[in-house]
Amino acid sequence: MPPMDRTTIDLLQGTLGVLMLKALSWGPMHGYGIARWIEQVTGDELLVEEGSLYPALHRLEVHGLATSEWTLSTTNRRVKSYTITERGRAQLRAELSRWDRFSTAVSLALHARRPRTA
């Protein structure tokens, strides 16, 4: 098994989408802004690569979880800005609940002590 340093989040199926929805829950963002938000809030432990970012954003749109529109950035460049939909907010709530249960179960298993034998 390779050493676990910084992680690209496409390694865990479904992780990128839920993190993107969380980023968008704070307000509209362009793709690069979403990636930077994820990297910043994880202390640069989770890296979002461009090859994963834009296909995942497209999937969010196709599933009705986000919408997009062309806007001008603070540097006056045209960027595609994404906004979470009500359906996306509902999905985020469901995913947060699932992740809380999943992470608790994994943590319990990883910190389990060997059972005593009689």
Say yes or no to pLDDT of 14 above 60.
yes
Cα Rg of the chain (Å, integer): 17
Q: Which domains does the chain have, with CATH numbers?
A: 7-110 (1.10.10.10)
pLDDT at 37: 97
pLDDT at 73: 84
Q: Which residue has the higher pLDDT, 116 or 19?
A: 19
pLDDT per residue over 101-112, tens digit each?
Answer: 988 998 999 999
Which residues does 28 contact at the CB level (< 8 Å), separation at least 6? Answer: 71, 81, 82, 83
pLDDT at 56: 93
Mean pLDDT of the chain: 88
Calpha distance 7→63 (Å, rounded): 26
Q: Which contacts of 24-30 are long-range, i.e. CB under 8 A and separated by 24 or more positions?
A: 24/66, 24/82, 24/83, 24/84, 24/88, 25/84, 25/89, 25/92, 28/71, 28/81, 28/82, 28/83, 29/81, 29/82, 30/71, 30/73, 30/79, 30/80, 30/81, 30/82
pLDDT at 74: 84
Say yes or no to pLDDT of 118 above 70.
no
pLDDT per residue over 70-101, tens digit each?
Answer: 998 888 999 999 999 999 999 999 999 998 99
Q: Record the pTM.
A: 0.81
pLDDT at 12: 58
